[in-house]
Structure 1
Amino acid sequence: MTTTAVPATRRTVLRGAAVGCAGALTPVVGAGLAEAVTGTPATAARPTAARPAVDRPNVIVVSIDDLGWDELGCYGNRFNETPHIDRLAREGVRFTQAYAAAPLCSPTRAALVTGRYPGRTGITDYLRGEGAASDLHLSPRIPGIPSVLKPRGYTTGHIGKWHLTETYHGHYRSRPGNPYAHGFDEVILSEHRYIGGGDYFAPYEFLPGVPGRTSHEYLTDRLALEAVGFIRRHRNQPFFLHVANYAVHTKLRGKSALVEKYRAKPGAGGPGARPTLAAMLESVDTQVGRIVRTLKDLGIARNTLLLVTSDNGGQNRPANRPLRGGKGELYEAGIRVPLVAWWPGQAPGGRVTSELASTIDILPTAAALAHGTTPKGVDGIDLSPVIRAKAPSGRDTLFWAYPHHIGGWHPSAAVRQGGFKVVRRLRTGRDELYDLVADPAETTDIAKRAPETRKRLSALLTEHLDELDLFAPPPGSVDYARVARTGGFHALPGTGLRRSTEHVAAGRFALTIATSGLVAAGRGEIRLGVAQDADNLLVVRYSHRRRGVRWELRHRGRSITQGAEPVRTLDGTVDLSRPGARLGMAVRGSQVTAYGDPGTGRWQMLFRFDVGGVLDFDSRTVRSRYRYAATSGKGFRARLA
């Protein structure tokens, strides 16, 4: 077997030895690229004797990408047609208080695999493509579903969207964070190229080499075909299968006949009545119907728990009504999702439950059904007593942390305990409090009316965030040893920067620059960071004209900002011209956090980003090349924290 050589890319430059784990992954001999893409197993599964009912039940999870709260018939939609999922809800359990672990896909998917809050997995935002400065992936060192279930005799399969690595070159099995590295036995139709553009009809751009099995094959139908094949291959042994749909994502494309069907329906084009999305969702519903029919035909439905859910809230706000917000936000519409559990003979039908549930519960639920051991550090709980109507879960608290910008949404965190929920703006630390029982649409912030409740939930959230340790601490904290004194700063030609004579001395460092004097002197843009020369630098930039802060990474003369989160949402909100105002930059390895102080004497967290695909200051080699740098000008002053 031959393997694809890994080209020299920006991901292979200036990294420390500890960065990435691709080199630790051993390519699998005897299973070629075709297996990784199409899922054709290298060896056929050996049938075993039929199992007694409810002996190590199968678990199937069908996830629908970006499914809004109000887009299934069983959740109140009267335009979309989802008869198969609606029937599962009538025959099983429908959750009304189920949540995605994050308001975006990649962190929720990491939570599904590991049973942990996304902040513990290192995946807190959606992962970018090759052009990003970061090089993130879900570490196989974190125990996941395969490591829990395979010792109990389970075969594990993943069909469809993975989106837990930012590496799209080289042999599939050698890519850091690929599903095989996490122990999945069969990986079918998982993307080989970045999926952002959407891809629903063969030939598939992000699945090169995968031929359509029918003319103009629709990807959702192909996933159904592969799911049926997996179930048939493993019908006589316990299995776990995640059918991860690419639909119904941002770029909408449905089968033309179905699209025309919905365009002809009354109300088409109105709020929450989008014909193309309805057509895509009907295809997913048909997929679910095929899976159910296969389970019944094989006589294993009573020994299979089937879950249908979403990875985050819908992007289209009318599709989430009456909930507030949408995808990317920590208001309810960004994180509360449909969840239907179907288990004939085990889950009494026709039930609706308000028990709190989350993506993080899938692993411990599967572990309990397999009589396996849940790994230490898992945040989720076993939902099987709730599904079986045996006992309440006993849970009353869930947490979220989304420390990123997306659209107009700024970094935030949230906690729900009982019927109350706090949403915290991480920049200022301001907390909003909502009573979700009386006000499920979160229309009224009652923080001032219920100060004791706000204080209690705020303390819980602060403790959780401290435990996650997501940010490089602000300048001046005890986290940074004073390892060097910035000596003379010298002009760095072509940059407008002055560079220190001292190299970066530690993998953790923070810099500050007083900005008010520079703004008063007419400096419209202020930069602070590190530089090797004019072609290699990493700085945060304050623009007084825009009243915003952004970042710039240059490597070998190239600007590497593709895929960066939209921190332009800060524009118009940051004013560092007042007396005492400061700009700060804190670095921890490859994680960078920008801070601003508008003259209050208190730092505000502006944004964080990762540059591990290019620079990692845990590497002594990298540190030896870079010096501290800042804007020159009247009133210039830069210092280490």
Structure 2
Amino acid sequence: MHGPNRNGLSRRGLLGGAAGAALASLVPDPAFAARPPAPGRRPPNVVFVSVDDLGWDELGSYGNTFNETPELDRLAREGMRFTSAYAAAPLCSPTRAALMTGRYPVRTGITDFLRGEPAASDKYLSPDIPTLPDVLRPFGYTTGLVGKWHLTETYSGPYEERPGNPHAHGFDEVIVSERKYIGDGDYFHPYSFIPDLPAREPGEYLTDRLTAEAVDYITRHRHEPFFLHVSNYAVHTTLDAKPDLVAKYRAKPGAGQAPNRPVLAAMLESIDQQVGRIADTLADLGLDRDTLLLVTSDNGGPYRDANQPLRGGKGELYEGGIRVPLIAYWPGTVAPGQRNATPTSTVDVLPTVVDLAGGDPGGRFDGRSIAPVLTAGHEVERGPLFWVYPHFIGRTHPHAAVRSGQFKLVQYLRDGRSELYHLARDPAEGSDLSARHPQKARQLRTLLESHIADSGLFPALPTPEHYPTVELAESFDTDLRRWSVLPVTAYAAPPVVDGGRLAVTTDRMTHLVFRSDVAPGSDRVAVVLDPGTFAEAGTQDTVFVGLARDAGNYLLFRYHNGLRRVGWDLRVDGALITAGAEPLDNLDGTVDLTGPAARYAFVLHGHRATAYVDQGGGWEFLFTADTGGAVDFGDPAVRAQYRYAASVRLDDGTVTLDGLTARRA
């Protein structure tokens, strides 16, 4: 059997926007403050500057010769430059969730970037999870966010009332944070995603506005410990910069040659000026020796040539998608001119701050403190680092990765195939060593699969072992007495039950939903469709499996045989809701249900439903649909209105179904 569940390990569910199992272990603990700062010593300030989509090779200190980043390069010379620093995810929202919690994204419920509404989900970073303001408040910290949040996809109603907004997480100040979806970027006032924000100066550039707000925040709070996240919207697409800087870079030699991008370079110069102003402000206020300044990226760059020599880019778990620049600057504490190869991740930031403040991070986080690296300059051994990206983006399929020492394993979640690399010898990940080092590959696979199992991210495979109680076993041996036949289209060809098969024959468009008389007995169920024959004609030989209330309200997973295409249809009050869906066309042509042992499964796990397919060789993971924002099947009252269902849609020929089985855990 294939995919992330092939060891048959038990799964724990997700609650709301967060991993339920993690919530129990994340309640605020007074042990955080068990070691208060020594008398007369206040905890250090921390300014964390994140640059959106900054690639590995885009700073001068990391080897770029076209972009001009003198301030960042100075901080790298006078501080520490990390060479094995990682974002916690290959995309922004999960990395930001990791920063806020010190936990891997799979434990926060945020594993993908959050799309704008309307969407068939309602994801946000749950305030039930202790986050950075909660953790640092006992040490006397005030906390501020200047800029991008992107941890709620609800963009309507008063900002402070939206689920998962930064105020709900306890930030003392939230400044210039988006009110609408930030999708394509917007860098000159008026800002489309912050429509009610007045400009502070004519022709205001967004990065400059964040800079001014950061300087003001530092000045206001100079007499108390503070944590400030300066969260840039740049250099995210669509690229836009100040005209004079764009002209400067377009006039430079090599401006028209890859990987040089004059507009991106101009945007990055504004970021560089921002960091310089922040460093100067700290020095002018006498705070530089009391402040750790960190600068990094939320994921790898989207332009692969900006990540050279690393492989891949944003959205991928190869090094180009997750290895990022990280500069640490702290005069008097971080010794100048250091290059450090310690593997570190976004999840390490919060435990590091707790450690520096005098607390004991203990085992409360997935990350670990790198305070000894910063204060003593040592490279330290650490445990494995994990990444799980169970989504589709571009042409990338769900995959996961683990790094342990210099070895890294990348595993694809559908079929379980894996690749092994030695990063010190092969940072470009060009030579798969899994055949040469099978024992190391097995060791890392075991680590990774255990991490995925513990996260509760995937439901159990749709087998009797995991879902022992049979609720429906329909083999179509008699008639449709227990079924309601619900036409979705105006014309409906009559179905026929004959010889253990349900058949629909038509020469014009017909879409029928077959709703059983059995409601799911829990929110942990598996529904397995045994398809029969397909029309092999027309354009719509499609079968479905899932749950239906009536012809206008259902969640059904579909398989289109002509295109070998899978996907999901969520219909609410007659309207199909597709916003928020992943680009599942990545799966087109890769699924075939025409074989004699082929099966298609709908597995419900609260408000999430997961598709598995068995093409004759065992169950494979396909995709997950989160419907919490539209229909919450975790709610017993909602679930009681729905029944197990199958469906057929075709416009010519005959489609048959062999059976439908539903079981609950």
* TM-score after normalising by structure 2: 0.87
In the alignment, the residues of structure 2 paired with residue 146 and residue 433 of structure 1 have an alpha-carbon distance, to the nearest angstrom, of: 38
How far 1:635 sits from its partner (Å)?
A: 4.0
Counterpart in the other structure of 2:337: 350
Residue identity in the other structure for 1:383: I
Q: Is the 8 A contact 2:531 2:656 kept in 1?
A: no
Q: Structure 2: 5+ residue runs without aligned partners?
A: 1-14, 19-37, 475-481, 489-510, 649-654
Q: Is the 8 A contact 1:161 1:246 kept in 2?
A: yes
How far 1:131 sits from its partner (Å)?
A: 1.1
Establish whether residue 286 from structure 1 lines up as the match of residue 273 from structure 2: yes
In the alignment, the residues of structure 2 paired with residue 63 and residue 375 of structure 1 have an alpha-carbon distance, to the nearest angstrom, of: 26
Establish whether residue 186 from structure 1 lines up as the match of residue 173 from structure 2: yes
1:73/1:54 CA distance change after superposition, 3 Å: farther
In the alignment, the residues of structure 2 paired with residue 269 and residue 593 of structure 1 have an alpha-carbon distance, to the nearest angstrom, of: 46
1:135-163 Cα shifts (integer Å, max 9, x gaps): 01111121121112111111110110000
How far 1:384 sits from its partner (Å)?
A: 1.5
SS of 1:636's partner is strand
SS of 2:621's partner is strand
SS of 2:306's partner is helix
Q: Structure 1: 5+ residue runs without aligned partners?
A: 1-17, 22-50
In the alignment, the residues of structure 1 paired with residue 594 and residue 312 of structure 2 have an alpha-carbon distance, to the nearest angstrom, of: 33
Q: Is the 8 A contact 2:17 2:110 kept in 1?
A: no
Residue identity in the other structure for 1:337: V
- Is 468-477 or 313-322 further displaced after alignment? 468-477
Establish whether residue 614 from structure 1 lines up as the match of residue 636 from structure 2: no
Residue identity in the other structure for 2:161: S
The alignment yields a C-alpha RMSD, in angstroms, of 1.8
Q: 2:598 aligns with which of 577, 581, 593?
A: 581
Establish whether residue 273 from structure 1 lines up as the match of residue 289 from structure 2: no
Counterpart in the other structure of 2:658: 636
1:347-366 Cα shifts (integer Å, max 9, x gaps): 00001010011000110111
1:56/1:630 CA distance change after superposition, 3 Å: same
Counterpart in the other structure of 1:458: 445
Establish whether residue 383 from structure 1 lines up as the match of residue 370 from structure 2: yes
Q: Is the 8 A contact 2:397 2:412 kept in 1?
A: yes
In the alignment, the residues of structure 2 paired with residue 330 and residue 315 of structure 1 have an alpha-carbon distance, to the nearest angstrom, of: 13
SS of 1:388's partner is helix
In the alignment, the residues of structure 1 paired with residue 146 and residue 374 of structure 2 have an alpha-carbon distance, to the nearest angstrom, of: 25
Q: Is the 8 A contact 1:328 1:406 kept in 2?
A: yes
Residue identity in the other structure for 1:314: G
Residue identity in the other structure for 1:75: Y
Q: 1:324 aligns with which of 302, 311, 327?
A: 311
Counterpart in the other structure of 1:5: none
- Is 625-634 or 564-573 further displaced after alignment? 625-634
In the alignment, the residues of structure 1 paired with residue 387 and residue 101 of structure 2 have an alpha-carbon distance, to the nearest angstrom, of: 16
Q: Is the 8 A contact 2:524 2:603 kept in 1?
A: yes
In the alignment, the residues of structure 2 paired with residue 130 and residue 543 of structure 1 have an alpha-carbon distance, to the nearest angstrom, of: 27
Counterpart in the other structure of 2:651: none
In the alignment, the residues of structure 2 paired with residue 333 and residue 211 of structure 1 have an alpha-carbon distance, to the nearest angstrom, of: 38
How far 1:300 sits from its partner (Å)?
A: 0.7
How far 1:490 sits from its partner (Å)?
A: 3.2
- Is 494-503 or 196-205 further displaced after alignment? 494-503
In the alignment, the residues of structure 2 paired with residue 194 and residue 424 of structure 1 have an alpha-carbon distance, to the nearest angstrom, of: 32
**1:550-565 correspondence runs (5 A):** 550-565=567-582
1:456/1:544 CA distance change after superposition, 3 Å: same
1:516/1:431 CA distance change after superposition, 3 Å: farther
| Greater strand content | 2
1:594/1:444 CA distance change after superposition, 3 Å: same
Counterpart in the other structure of 2:131: 144
SS of 2:448's partner is helix
Q: 1:604 aligns with which of 612, 620, 629?
A: 620
Establish whether residue 412 from structure 1 lines up as the match of residue 399 from structure 2: yes
1:252/1:220 CA distance change after superposition, 3 Å: same
SS of 1:517's partner is coil
SS of 2:202's partner is coil
In the alignment, the residues of structure 1 paired with residue 201 and residue 69 of structure 2 have an alpha-carbon distance, to the nearest angstrom, of: 24
Q: 1:528 aligns with which of 545, 549, 570?
A: 545
How far 1:197 sits from its partner (Å)?
A: 2.4
1:155/1:635 CA distance change after superposition, 3 Å: closer
Establish whether residue 230 from structure 1 lines up as the match of residue 217 from structure 2: yes
Residue identity in the other structure for 2:469: R
**1:54-65 correspondence runs (5 A):** 55-65=42-52
Residue identity in the other structure for 2:430: T
SS of 2:199's partner is coil
Counterpart in the other structure of 1:29: none
Establish whether residue 74 from structure 1 lines up as the match of residue 61 from structure 2: yes
Establish whether residue 507 from structure 1 lines up as the match of residue 529 from structure 2: no
In the alignment, the residues of structure 1 paired with residue 97 and residue 466 of structure 2 have an alpha-carbon distance, to the nearest angstrom, of: 29
Counterpart in the other structure of 1:335: 322
Residue identity in the other structure for 1:178: N
Establish whether residue 479 from structure 1 lines up as the match of residue 495 from structure 2: no
SS of 1:415's partner is strand
In the alignment, the residues of structure 1 paired with residue 638 and residue 272 of structure 2 have an alpha-carbon distance, to the nearest angstrom, of: 51
Residue identity in the other structure for 2:235: V
1:475-532 Cα shifts (integer Å, max 9, x gaps): 1154335252256333211232211111222111111112353467997211111111
Counterpart in the other structure of 2:238: 251
In the alignment, the residues of structure 1 paired with residue 86 and residue 149 of structure 2 have an alpha-carbon distance, to the nearest angstrom, of: 19
Counterpart in the other structure of 2:486: 492
Residue identity in the other structure for 1:634: T
Q: 2:566 aligns with which of 512, 527, 549?
A: 549
How far 1:297 sits from its partner (Å)?
A: 0.5
How far 1:534 sits from its partner (Å)?
A: 1.5
1:242-297 Cα shifts (integer Å, max 9, x gaps): 00000000211111111111111111132220011111111111100110010011
**1:22-37 correspondence runs (5 A):** none
How far 1:631 sits from its partner (Å)?
A: 2.7
SS of 1:127's partner is coil
Counterpart in the other structure of 1:44: none
Q: Is the 8 A contact 2:17 2:108 kept in 1?
A: no
SS of 2:517's partner is strand
1:298/1:52 CA distance change after superposition, 3 Å: farther
* TM-score after normalising by structure 1: 0.90
In the alignment, the residues of structure 2 paired with residue 609 and residue 483 of structure 1 have an alpha-carbon distance, to the nearest angstrom, of: 24
Q: Is the 8 A contact 2:315 2:393 kept in 1?
A: yes
SS of 1:484's partner is strand
How far 1:93 sits from its partner (Å)?
A: 0.3
Q: Is the 8 A contact 1:519 1:577 kept in 2?
A: no
In the alignment, the residues of structure 2 paired with residue 490 and residue 521 of structure 1 have an alpha-carbon distance, to the nearest angstrom, of: 27
In the alignment, the residues of structure 2 paired with residue 235 and residue 68 of structure 1 have an alpha-carbon distance, to the nearest angstrom, of: 32
SS of 2:263's partner is helix
Counterpart in the other structure of 1:36: none
Q: 1:304 aligns with which of 283, 286, 291?
A: 291
In the alignment, the residues of structure 2 paired with residue 374 and residue 388 of structure 1 have an alpha-carbon distance, to the nearest angstrom, of: 17
Q: Is the 8 A contact 2:532 2:658 kept in 1?
A: no
Counterpart in the other structure of 1:153: 140
In the alignment, the residues of structure 2 paired with residue 269 and residue 366 of structure 1 have an alpha-carbon distance, to the nearest angstrom, of: 43
